[in-house]
Each structure stands twice: as C-alpha cells, then as structure tokens.
Chains A and B, each alone.
Chain A
Amino acid sequence: MEWFAHKWDIIDQLTPFLLQGLWTTFKISIVAIFFGSILGFVLGVLKTLQIYPLEKLINTYLHLLRGSPYLVQLYIVYFVFPSFNISWLNFDSFTAAVVSLSLYTSSYVTEIVASAIFAVPTGQSEASRSVGMTKAQAYRYVILPQALKMTIPPMASVYVIVIKSTAVLSVIGIAELTRQGEVAIMRMPGDIMFIYSLIAIFYFFYCFPVLRFSKWAETRFGSIGIDLK
C-alpha cells in the first residue's frame, strides 16, 4: 500500500511537468506535419507530372531522406547547416527541430500524394481532357479531389511517425516529453523505470487514437496499398 501511495505521489508531482513536455511535443509535431504536408504535396504533384529531370531530382531527394536515419538528419541540420556561414541557416534548436522534422515528413507525404494520384484511374484524366479541360483544370477539379481523399489514412500513420520521431529531439535539448522525463529522472533517480513507463503511457494515449483513426479511415476511404513504417 505504501508502494502504491509513493507511486501515486510521483504521478501527482510529475503530471503537470510531463504535460508541459507533451504540449511541446504536440506543438512541434503539428508545425512539422503542416509544413511537411505542404512541401510533400507540391513535390508529390510535381512528381506525377513526369518531367524527366525534375522527377529524377525529386527521387534523389526522397532517397536522401529515406536512406539516412532521422537522428543523422537532425544532427546535420543542427550542427552542419550553421557552418555554411549563412545567417538564416543558423537555427536555434527549436527551428532546427521543426526544419529537420518537416523535411523528414515531406519525404513520406511526397510518396503518399504521388501514389494516390497514380491510383486514380487514367480514364478520369483522359475523360476530363476529352471534355476540353486543361491539364491544370483536370488536376484541380477531377484528379486531386479523388486522390486527396485516399491520402487520409496514410497521412494519419505519417502523423504517428512524426510524433514518435519527436522523441529523438531530446538529444538536442528540446524540452519535449522525453526530455522532460529525463529531467524528472535526474530529480528522482530511484524511479527510472516508473517514469519511463509513465512517458510511454503518455505517448500511447496520444498515438493510439490516431492509429485507430487511420484504420477506420482505411475502411471509409479505401487503401492505396502504400506501406509506411
């Protein structure tokens, strides 16, 4: 019983502190998914236009971001960019976190948007061209509305990936959930396991509903058969 009271005491003391971290995690993940989606959407649409050098360029960009771990990308944005001696590349840690996470997100979004557009039957674009629409009009009124609906389930999975990636940001000292937990552990070194479990539960309650939504959206809007990790 005393054990239980002690643990309850920890929960009681730490919850506001950890919620503060969760709020930072939430902010960073929202900003990153916002900018990442915009960049990814533009690149995804450009990729489907199949202009030769542009397509190669976008594919190289995707391979660079998908082929290296997020930790390395974070270090490069945070430590290597300032050495270019360009003043606006001299990020503080929050900006570096948002920039690197947005770039990382955009690599997933590009692939989702491109495969959703490819998943729209070609008859749709042929039909819209044959009734006299320009290519831009066909995209705007026929293809994109159908494609964007199909991106909803994988986008929810990407959001979960972004949330989970924010845990890595603790290494550059962003006060997000993991970092707050580490600080709490410095104060209460006897309860390492308990505090980490508490953090895991916080993450679980944040990510699990989104994963559930993704699964529900897949039955509602259909799957484009893209596999995200």
Chain B
Amino acid sequence: MGWLQSVFNFRIVSQYWEVFAQGIVNTILISAVCLILSLSLGILVALGRRSSNPLIWRPLAVYIQAIRSTPLLIQIYLIYYGLPALLPFGNFLNETQTGIIALTIHTTPYMGEIIRAGLESVHRGQIEGALSVGMTPRQTMTNVVLPQAIANVVPPLLGQTAVLIKDTSLLSIIAVFELMGAGLRMFSETVIATESYVTTAVCYLAIYAMMLGLSGLVQRKLGGSAWQEN
C-alpha cells in the first residue's frame, strides 16, 4: 500500500474529515437558502418581466442583462464592499450573510428567465380549450397551465441549482467557510495540494451526483411514463 500512500495520503485526509463534513453542510445550507430566496424572487421577476408597464419591465430587463454580462466574482466584490455603505445595518452582516445576498442577487435573474420561459411554453390553445369546455380561469390555471408549466420548468431549475452549488465555491474568496474554504484551510495547514484539492473536488462531485439522482427521480415522476400511470 506504500505506493498508494505516496500518490494520495488518505491518513491526512481522514484527519480532516470533520472540516470537510462541515464544509459540505455549509455549502448545502447556503445553496438551499439561496435557492429558496432566488426562486421566490425569480417568480416576481418573471411576472414583472411579463408586465406591460414599461416602468416595471424595463428596470427588470436592465437588471437581468447587467447580471448576465458581468462575472459573479465582481458582483460578490461589489456587494461585499458596497453593502455596508448602502444599508444602515450592512455593517452587522457577517460574510456568510453577505455571500447569500450576493448569490441570491446573481441567481434570481436566471431563475426568473427559466420561470418566464416555462409560463410561455404552455400553448395558447391549451388555455382556450380549457376555457371553452367551461372551466373557470382559476381552474384553467390550476388544472391546465400550472401542471404543464411546472413540468417544463423543473429540469432547467435543477440544472440552475447545480450551477448555484458550484457558484458557492467563489464565496471562499470573501472568507465564507464552505466546501472550497475547507479545502483551502487544509491546504494552508498541511501544504499538500493533491489531497486538499482532490478531496474538495470529490466532495463537490458527490453533491453533484446526488443532484443527478434527484433530477432523474423528478423527471421520471414528471414524465409520467405509461406504466406509472394509475
């Protein structure tokens, strides 16, 4: 086993398993909070973007384009340094809260665009058909439009969530302790690059594998293949 020890030293990694476990938990928690916040704000952005009032949709369009054409790292820096000046209580936010705000601001437009595309993907004929067989607008929405829109929206939303989890790694640059932060701490204490960074990558891949499994499960449920129907 000596050769394996020289390629990848499991003993040192095992000393750091608590740090990495904490990192994984923090990454998942930060991603979950950001997901909930950006989904709810994304619904508002999607609805506002569909509004006919230029005072509502124009600023939102500017917001979406501005976020999409600047790097996340710059957005994180702007919010990290700018928030204390902008908000009266900005000084009292710790770096994790700042990071969550930055990531939410970054992810909301992407979520909004996905939701908007989902709402627009339901064919007009579906709504007209539902209304013409005597459904009320409310029944049309709950029984016809939303089921189809949700089925269309969930796969890209899961993809965006995977991106969100990867994006949390950039928060390590403003000293948030998450998975990447765990790798950086191990590297700064042991100065062995291979074990620190490969372990980090493996942990991210484990989270990604969980996401893949989940998305397969959801798509089977939503796809409703013939033998599942009853």
Interface residue ranges, A against B (CB under 8 Å): 63-64, 66-73, 75-76, 79-80, 83, 160, 163-168, 170-171, 178, 192-193, 196-197, 199-200, 203-204, 206-208, 211, 227, 229
Residue of B nearest to A204 (CB): B69
Please tell me if the beta carbons of A197 and B209 are within 8 angstroms of each other in the complex.
no
Let me know if B68 and A178 touch, CB within 8 A. no
Contact of A197 among B78, B160, B173, B183 (CB under 8 A): B78
> Once the chains bind, are A196 and B81 in contact (CB under 8 Å)?
yes
Give the residues in chain A near B187, CB-CB below 8 Å: 79
Question: Which chain B residues lie closer than 8 Å to A166 at the CB level?
Answer: 71
What is the predominant secondary structure among interface residues of chain B facing chain A? helix
User: Given A69-B180, A193-B81, is A203 in contact with B69 using a C-beta cutoff of 8 Å?
Assistant: yes
Smallest CB gap from B202: residue in A: A68
Q: Does B12 contact A (CB under 8 A)?
A: no
A227/B170 in contact, CB under 8 A = no
List of B residues within 8 angstroms of A67 by Cβ: 162, 204-205, 208-209
Nearest-CB distance from A191 to chain B (Å)? 10
How many A-B residue pairs lie within 8 Å, measured between CB atoms?
A: 111
Given A72-B197, A80-B193: A164 in contact with B72 (beta carbons within 8 A): yes
Q: Which residues of A contact B70 (CB under 8 A)?
A: 164, 200, 203-204, 207
Q: Which residue in B85, B159, B170 is a CB contact (below 8 Å) of A193?
A: B85
Minimal beta-carbon separation of B112 from chain A (angstroms): 14
Give Cα A59–Cα B70 distance, bound, in whole angstroms.
30
With both beta carbons as reference points, the residue of chain A lying nearest to B77 in the complex is identified as: A196
The 8 Å CB contact of B68, one of A68, A80, A211, is A211
In B159-210, which residues have CB < 8 Å from any A CB? Answer: 159-160, 162-163, 166-167, 169-170, 172-173, 180, 183, 187, 193-194, 197-198, 200-201, 204-205, 208-209
Q: Is the CB of A71 within 8 A of B74?
A: no
Q: Quick one: which of B66, B73, B183, B194 has the most chain A CB within 10 A?
A: B73
Which residues from chain A contact B78 at a C-beta distance below 8 Å?
Answer: 193, 196-197, 200
Q: Nearest Cβ distance between residue A182 and chain B, in whole angstroms?
A: 9
Given A80-B194, A204-B66, A227-B156, is A167 in contact with B73 using a C-beta cutoff of 8 Å? yes
Known: A192-B81, A211-B65. A72 touches B71 (CB 8 A): no
| A residues less than 8 Å from B66 (CB atoms) | 200, 204
Q: Which of A168, A208, A229 lies in contact with B73, CB distance below 8 A?
A: A168
Q: A67-B205, A160-B68 are in contact. List 16 more A-B contacts (CB 8 A).
A: A67-B162, A69-B204, A71-B169, A164-B72, A168-B73, A170-B73, A171-B173, A178-B74, A196-B74, A196-B82, A199-B74, A200-B70, A203-B70, A207-B69, A208-B65, A208-B69
A sample of 7 cross-chain residue pairs with beta-carbon separation below 8 angstroms, ordered by A number, consists of A71-B180, A76-B201, A160-B69, A193-B82, A204-B66, A208-B65, A229-B163
Given contacts A69-B180, A80-B197, A229-B110, contact A63 B208 (CB under 8 A): yes
Chain B residues with CB below 8 A from A203, complex form: 69-71, 74
Q: Which of A71, A164, A168 has the most CB of B within 10 A?
A: A71
